[in-house]
């Protein structure tokens, strides 16, 4: 990938190093921007206050200050969690690992991708469930009743909302005809709507229902309000994260926002056309005819689309109350899944018809 | 869309009103959960010991007393003006309202009546305390349920009211302004115009909260049908204030009692709600804030001229007797039973605080609810720890 | 309303309170021999004192008469405090202090009295009910079977005064730790803060607004 960009022959270790760095940037940069822009600033403005203003101009260095603060805190493992200390310490890493595993399959440009699986989206959905394990481990090994409640709620909720997510994606897959994320992007940007290719064929228009269901499921997968029963700050203090301090809490924290960014990236790949702009704007026809500068512009386009989607996720998060656990489950099983099944049937029928 | 269908809602209400019989087929251990005393949800150090079966409560019991300051013992060694300073701190969000029933009881024993200007201003400050208290409740309601934004609006708009109280009395939280026979001082210049402006802002705030919070479907599904208190149970436990009116009991001490305050010179609606669930309690309080702003507006128009203090001796010795005065405080009915034996200070003061009775219903109410509903119910009952524990 | 102040010229008698008089008559008739004494202050309030054996029956009768709102329940210790009251007193008990027990409205024969208030909703006519607590027995019947709200009030009265309540389902401490010794609200239980640090005396007396020179007569 990078070799193609630089048109030079790099040794394998250099390429691997660049990939690792690229992965880190791909995860941490959106996380940091999301945290600053939305959590610090947007939330503050919505609450009619200014937010952090001291650290850096308009508080832009606040995130670094926060990271530094968390890093220098004592790493406490509660006494009653000592028997399971190893698992207790491992849990945040599992959650973060699933984010990194998720980001490798997102295409950033025509040649700028980490991996190009034929079953890209299948892999992505499978791997996103790994974080459930991490949360459950965190909740249970904390030896704290509140954390246990949070962990159990999380397990139920995250598993329940996997299904609508998968079913929503199936609609996209049917329409694109492939599970490869790169080809889904190309299909959207090279396609046309009823013969007019001015905007490409973003699946958000045809798969509107699936888009909504996917975004709702993402909100639940991220444990954001209105689905934040696992954290439920006013009841469970911090849910499964209660007993974590210092670096491990930072990993949970970053993981939460990084995952938000990555899921938004996947959503924009599936529904908004990913890194691409409609090919007709520049006269491209296939993926090989794309100019090389798209490898630099592509990530920026994807970033912009991701920001738009995260904006909506955070907006809903900051303004709504939370659903109760049984209302949550009822919503997933009795409302979202039937609707997404209907969507799949309709898509299949219309795909054959058109 | 509502999360609970009508049939499910009725079934849920029925299951709550009866005793919950938890079906235990598997031999599972129940879990005892301690909510509090340090907890983001409770307004202070209230500890609820709940025995859970999964997420359902089998029984729950509040354990009060973490903030017991021994008020009734303290009042026995203080003079009447000192007790006034003391009782400010019972319900610290609407502090002026605590002083008033005590001062009225002392005045009853002495046989003096404050001049009408003082009564008027007392009523204005009383209603301002109510607005300050309940607007914080409205914001905090959102936080308990997960909506983190409205609380900032509540605090922002409450600042205006607190500034008014500070301008008039010198203290934002603990005015200590009432004296036997009247008030300590007169209103400052410009108070009336400023209060009118603030009342408009508060009405806007009420509209905003109604839009943001009460209209939200998730809020509705979290609060409707939760924690239903029937009328007769409410009366038995001595619930008061908005909790009682939300169960359909039309009882407002401002309208029904004849005490020397200026409420009988104003017109206001007493708002009740037939449901008796958490939503009703929250909604009734919202409407009460609106009515309070209208009461203040009416009072501002008609402040009589005159002195603010009656002729009372410098060293006040209250004659022998017993007196009971209670008023419609922001939290409910707060009353003082003052027993005097002719000294400078009372012989015994029994403080009847609203939250004590309001929370005594919690063991009965929390059987069979889910853990998130505990928070909803406590939020809707609305208590202040200082009021429970005195 | 309240008795008129002394600034009026024509002395009037206290106005009649026909509503409360009728209510009191009704209550006295229903309770009959339970009532030892009663008092009506016009336009103010009503008091009755009942016998200890009929304490619970009184509650039931009053509830059936319409007094369904439970106000509160507590106790009074009529012993004057041996530690003194005013700020100038030293903080130790003094022998030459007057320790005659003088009860208040509707009299009484014992040092402790339990008193409660019930209100008729919608008319807000309330009635205060007192009962003597015999020093030897130190217990009365519990009201918690009649008014569920009395549960907590009786717990508090029990821990503060040491009065037992027969038939109460669960008489544990309300505010104080379980191993607390003593009953704080009794007058012979010292206010510990005063023992530890004596009161510094009257700190300030504010001048009344308007007239600093004119001292009103101390009554």
pLDDT at A177: 87
Interchain CB distance below 8 Å, B41 and A235: yes
Interchain CB distance below 8 Å, C216 and B356: no
Distance between CA atoms of B335 and B325, rounded to whole angstroms?
5
Classify residue C32 by its DSSP letter: G
Asked if the model's pLDDT at residue B25 lies above 50, the reply is no
φ/ψ of C132, rounded to 5, equals: -75, 145
Question: Tokens for C214?
Answer: 């004119």
Confidence category of residue C197, pLDDT binned at 50, 70, 90: low
Residue B156's contacts (CB-CB under 8 Å, 6 or more residues apart) are: A48
B68: Cα separation from own chain's centroid? 18
A231: closest CA of chain B, how far (Å): 10
Asked if the model's pLDDT at residue C142 lies above 50, the reply is yes
Using a CB-CB cut-off of 8 Å, the residues of chain A touching B222 are 321-324, 327
Asked if the model's pLDDT at residue C92 lies above 60, the reply is no
Instruction: Give the three-state DSSP class for C81.
Output: coil
Mean pLDDT of chain A: 84
Question: Angle between the B278-301 and B116-145 helix axes, to the nearest 10 degrees?
Answer: 150
User: Cβ of B191: how many Cβ atoms within 10 Å?
Assistant: 17
pLDDT at B338: 92
Asked if the model's pLDDT at residue A342 lies above 90, the reply is yes
Question: Which tens digits make up the pLDDT trace of A5-25?
Answer: 555 677 888 888 888 888 888
Residue predicted with more confidence, C206 or C160: C160
Question: Which tens digits make up the pLDDT trace of B252-263?
Answer: 888 888 888 888
Interchain CB distance below 8 Å, C5 and B111: yes
Using a CB-CB cut-off of 8 Å, the residues of chain C touching B77 are 81, 85, 191, 194, 199
Helix (H) or strand (E) holding C119: strand C112-120
Tell whether omega for the bond before C200 is within 30 degrees of 0, i.e. cis: no
Nearest neighbour of B146 by CB, restricted to A49, A146, A228: A228
Distance between CA atoms of B104 and B114, rounded to whole angstroms?
9
pLDDT at B20: 42
Mean pLDDT of chain B: 85
Helix (H) or strand (E) holding C125: strand C125-133
Interchain CB distance below 8 Å, B153 and A325: no
pLDDT at B43: 67
Residue of A146, A235, A236, A338 to mutate, interface with B, max B Cβ within 10 Å = A235
Question: Which tens digits make up the pLDDT trace of B358-373?
Answer: 988 988 888 888 888 8
- Percent of chain A's residues with pLDDT above 70: 96
Residue that has been written with the tokens 């019930």 in this structure: C118
Confidence category of residue C199, pLDDT binned at 50, 70, 90: low
pLDDT at B17: 47
Using a CB-CB cut-off of 8 Å, the residues of chain A touching B41 are 234-235
Question: Which tens digits make up the pLDDT trace of B299-332?
Answer: 999 888 888 888 888 888 888 888 999 999 999 8
The residue of chain B nearest to residue A320, with distances taken between CA atoms, is B147
Helix (H) or strand (E) holding C126: strand C125-133
Interchain CB distance below 8 Å, A320 and B218: yes
Distance between CA atoms of B346 and B71, rounded to whole angstroms?
12
Q: Tell me if chain B has a CB within 8 Å of the CB of A334.
A: no
Interchain CB distance below 8 Å, A49 and B152: yes
Question: Which tens digits make up the pLDDT trace of B253-299?
Answer: 888 888 888 888 888 889 999 988 999 999 999 999 999 999 999 99
pLDDT at B11: 58
Asked if the model's pLDDT at residue B8 lies above 60, the reply is no
C-alpha torsion A310→A316→A321→A327, nearest 10? -80
Arithmetic mean of pLDDT, B14-34: 55
pLDDT at C105: 76
How far from each other are the two terminal CA atoms of chain B, in whole angstroms?
Answer: 43
CA B353 vs CA B99, B234, B273, C16: distances in Å: 12, 16, 23, 31
Q: Which H, E and C letters describe chain A, residue by residue?
A: CHHHHHCCCCCHHHHHHHHHHHHHHHHHHHHHHHHHHHHHHHHHHHCCCCCCCCCCHHHCCHHHHHHHHHHCCCCCCCHHHHHHHHHHHHHHHHHHHHHHHHHCCCCCCCCCCCCCCCCHHHHHHHHHCHHHHHHHHHHHHCCCHHHHHHHHHHHHHHHHHHHHHHHHHHHHHHHHCCCCHHHHHHHHHHCCECCECCCCCCHHHHCHHHHHHHHHHHHHHCCCCCCCCCCCHHHHCCHHHCCCCHHHHHHHHHHHHHHHHHHHHHHHHHHHCCCCCCHHHCCCCCHHHCCCCHHHHHHHHHHHHHHHHHHHHHHHHHHCCCCCHHHHHHHHHHHHHHHHHHHHHHHHHHHHHC
Q: How many interface pairs between A and B have CB atoms less than 8 angstroms apart? A: 88
Q: Are C71 and C126 in contact (CB under 8 A)?
A: yes
- Percent of chain C's residues with pLDDT above 90: 4
Task: Single out the residue of A158, A178, A146 nearest to residue A78, CA to CA.
Answer: A146
Question: Which tens digits make up the pLDDT trace of B172-223?
Answer: 888 888 888 889 888 898 899 999 999 999 999 999 888 888 888 888 988 8
Tell me if there are at least 3 CB pairs under 8 Å linking chains C and B: yes
pLDDT at C52: 85
Bridge partners for C2 per DSSP:
none
Residue B183's contacts (CB-CB under 8 Å, 6 or more residues apart) are: B114, B118, B121, B122, B177, B308, B309
B213: closest CA of chain C, how far (Å): 32
φ/ψ of B31, rounded to 5, equals: -115, 135
pLDDT at C4: 39
Distance between CA atoms of C68 and C59, rounded to whole angstroms?
10
Nearest neighbour of B112 by CB, restricted to C5, C47, C194: C5
Distance between CA atoms of A219 and A317, rounded to whole angstroms?
8
Confidence category of residue B128, pLDDT binned at 50, 70, 90: very high
Using a CB-CB cut-off of 8 Å, the residues of chain B touching A327 are 3-4, 221-222
C-alpha torsion B128→B316→B344→C203, nearest 10? 80
Using a CB-CB cut-off of 8 Å, the residues of chain B touching C149 are 236-238, 357, 360-361
A336: closest CA of chain B, how far (Å): 13
Question: Which tens digits make up the pLDDT trace of B50-102?
Answer: 888 877 888 888 888 888 888 888 888 888 888 898 888 898 888 899 999 99
Residue that has been written with the tokens 């386009």 in this structure: A301
pTM tops 0.90, yes or no: no
Nearest neighbour of B146 by CB, restricted to A46, A234, A237: A234
pLDDT at C205: 64
Q: How big is chain A by its Cα radius of gyration, in Å?
A: 21
Q: Are B241 and B229 in contact (CB under 8 A)?
A: no
pLDDT at B24: 37
Question: Which tens digits make up the pLDDT trace of A291-303?
Answer: 777 888 888 889 8
Question: Tokens for B190?
Answer: 């410009």
Confidence category of residue A317, pLDDT binned at 50, 70, 90: confident
Nearest neighbour of B370 by CB, restricted to A145, A321, A326: A326
Question: Which tens digits make up the pLDDT trace of A228-274?
Answer: 877 765 565 667 777 888 888 888 888 888 888 999 999 999 998 88
Question: Tokens for C178?
Answer: 């379980």
Mean pLDDT of chain C: 76
- Percent of chain B's residues with pLDDT above 90: 26
pLDDT at C86: 53
Distance between CA atoms of B240 and B332, rounded to whole angstroms?
5
Asked if the model's pLDDT at residue A1 lies above 60, the reply is no
pLDDT at B124: 92
Task: Single out the residue of B107, B75, B73, B106 nearest to residue B88, CA to CA.
Answer: B75
Interchain CB distance below 8 Å, B250 and C1: no
Nearest neighbour of B3 by CB, restricted to A153, A318, A330: A330
Arithmetic mean of pLDDT, A268-285: 82
B95: closest CA of chain A, how far (Å): 26
Instruction: Give the three-state DSSP class for B130.
Output: helix
Residues in B lying within 8 Å of A, measured between beta carbons = 1, 3-4, 31, 33-35, 39-41, 55, 142-149, 152-153, 156, 212-213, 216, 218-219, 221-222, 370-375
Confidence category of residue B118, pLDDT binned at 50, 70, 90: very high
């Amino acid at each position: 990938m990078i070799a193609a960009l630089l048109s030079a022959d790099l040794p394998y270790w250099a390429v691997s190093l660049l990939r690792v760095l690229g992965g880190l940037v791909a995860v941490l940069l959106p996380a940091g921007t999301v945290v600053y822009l939305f959590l610090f600033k947007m939330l503050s403005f919505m609450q009619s206050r200014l937010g952090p203003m001291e650290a850096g101009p308009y508080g832009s260095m606040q995130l670094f200050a926060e990271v530094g603060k968390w890093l220098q805190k004592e790493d406490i493992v509660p006494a009653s969690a000592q028997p399971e200390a190893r698992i207790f310490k491992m849990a945040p890493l599992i959650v973060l690992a699933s984010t990194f595993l998720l980001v490798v399959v997102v295409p950033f440009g025509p040649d700028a991708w980490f991996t190009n699986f034929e079953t890209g989206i299948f892999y992505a959905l499978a791997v996103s469930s790994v974080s459930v394990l991490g949360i459950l481990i965190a909740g249970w090994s904390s030896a704290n009743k509140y954390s246990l409640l949070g962990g159990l709620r999380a397990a139920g909720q995250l598993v329940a909302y996997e299904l609508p997510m998968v079913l929503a994606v199936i609609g996209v897959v049917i329409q694109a005809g492939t599970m490869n994320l790169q080809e889904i992007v190309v299909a959207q940007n090279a396609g046309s709507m009823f013969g007019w290719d001015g905007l490409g064929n973003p699946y958000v228009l045809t798969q509107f229902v699936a888009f909504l269901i996917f975004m709702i499921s993402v909100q639940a997968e991220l444990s954001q309000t209105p689905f934040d029963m696992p954290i439920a700050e006013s009841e469970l203090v911090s849910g499964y994260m209660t007993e974590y301090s210092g670096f491990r809490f930072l990993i949970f924290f970053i993981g939460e926002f990084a995952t938000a960014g990555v899921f938004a990236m996947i959503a924009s790949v599936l529904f908004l056309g990913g890194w691409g702009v409609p090919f007709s704007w520049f006269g491209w026809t296939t993926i090989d005819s794309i100019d090389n500068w798209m490898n630099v512009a592509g990530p920026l386009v994807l970033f912009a689309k991701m920001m738009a989607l995260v904006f909506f996720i955070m907006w809903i998060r900051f303004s709504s109350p939370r659903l109760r656990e049984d209302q949550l489950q009822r919503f997933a099983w009795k409302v979202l899944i039937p609707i997404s099944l209907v969507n799949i049937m309709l898509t299949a029928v219309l795909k054959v018809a058109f | 869309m509502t999360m609970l269908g009508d049939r499910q809602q009725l079934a849920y209400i029925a299951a709550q009103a009866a005793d919950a019989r938890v079906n235990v087929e598997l031999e599972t251990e129940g879990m005892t959960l301690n909510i509090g005393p340090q907890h983001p949800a409770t307004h202070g150090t209230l500890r609820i010991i709940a025995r859970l079966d999964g997420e359902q409560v089998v029984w729950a019991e509040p354990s009060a007393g973490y903030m017991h300051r021994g008020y009734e013992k303290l009042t026995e060694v203080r003079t009447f003006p000192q007790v006034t300073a003391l009782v400010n701190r019972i319900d610290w969000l609407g502090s002026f309202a605590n002083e008033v029933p005590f001062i009225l009881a002392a005045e009853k024993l002495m046989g003096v009546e404050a001049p009408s200007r003082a009564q008027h201003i007392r009523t204005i400050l009383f209603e301002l305390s109510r607005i300050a208290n309940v607007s914080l409740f409205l914001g905090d309601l959102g936080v308990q349920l997960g909506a983190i934004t409205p609380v900032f609006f509540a605090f922002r708009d409450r600042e205006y009211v607190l500034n008014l109280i500070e301008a008039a009395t010198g203290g934002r939280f603990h005015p200590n302004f009432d004296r036997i026979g009247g008030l300590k001082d007169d209103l400052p210049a410009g108070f009336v115009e400023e209060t009118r402006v603030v009342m408009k802002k508060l009405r806007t705030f009420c509209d905003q909260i109604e839009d943001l919070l009460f209209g939200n479907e998730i809020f509705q599904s979290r609060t409707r049908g939760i924690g239903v208190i029937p009328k007769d149970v409410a009366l038995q436990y001595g619930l008061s204030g908005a909790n009682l009116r939300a169960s359909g009991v039309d009882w407002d001490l401002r309208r029904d009692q004849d005490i020397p305050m200026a409420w009988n010179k104003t017109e206001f609606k007493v708002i009740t709600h037939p449901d008796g669930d958490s939503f009703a309690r929250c909604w009734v309080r919202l409407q009460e804030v609106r009515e309070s702003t209208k009461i203040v507006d009416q009072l501002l128009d008609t402040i009589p001229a005159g002195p603010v203090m009656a002729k009372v001796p410098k060293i006040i010795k209250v004659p022998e007797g017993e007196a009971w005065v209670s008023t419609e405080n922001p939290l409910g009915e707060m009353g003082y039973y003052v027993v005097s034996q002719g000294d400078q200070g009372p012989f015994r003061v029994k403080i009847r605080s609203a939250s004590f009775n309001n929370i005594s219903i919690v063991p009965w109410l929390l059987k069979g609810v889910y853990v998130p509903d505990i928070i909803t119910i406590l939020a809707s009952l609305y208590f202040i720890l200082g009021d429970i524990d005195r | 309303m309240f008795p008129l102040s002394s600034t009026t010229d024509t002395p009037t008698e206290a106005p009649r309170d026909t509503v409360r008089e009728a209510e009191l008559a009704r209550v006295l008739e229903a309770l009959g021999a339970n009532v030892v004494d009663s008092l009506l202050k016009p336009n103010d309030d009503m008091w009755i004192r009942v016998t200890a054996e009929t304490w619970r029956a009184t509650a039931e009768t009053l509830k059936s008469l319409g007094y369904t709102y439970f106000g509160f329940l507590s106790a009074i210790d009529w012993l004057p405090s041996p530690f003194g009251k005013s700020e100038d007193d030293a903080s130790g008990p003094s022998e030459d202090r007057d320790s005659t027990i003088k009860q208040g409205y509707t009299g009484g024969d014992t040092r402790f009295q339990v008193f409660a208030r019930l209100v008729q909703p919608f008319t807000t006519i309330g009635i205060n009910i007192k009962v003597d607590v015999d020093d030897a027995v130190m217990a009365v019947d519990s009201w918690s079977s009649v008014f569920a709200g009395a549960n907590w009030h009786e717990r508090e009265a029990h821990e503060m005064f040491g009065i037992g309540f027969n038939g109460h389902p669960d008489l544990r401490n309300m505010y104080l730790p379980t191993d607390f010794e003593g009953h704080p609200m009794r007058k012979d239980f010292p206010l510990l803060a005063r023992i530890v640090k004596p009161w510094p005396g009257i700190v300030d007396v504010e001048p009344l607004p308007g007239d600093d020179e004119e001292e009103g007569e101390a009554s």
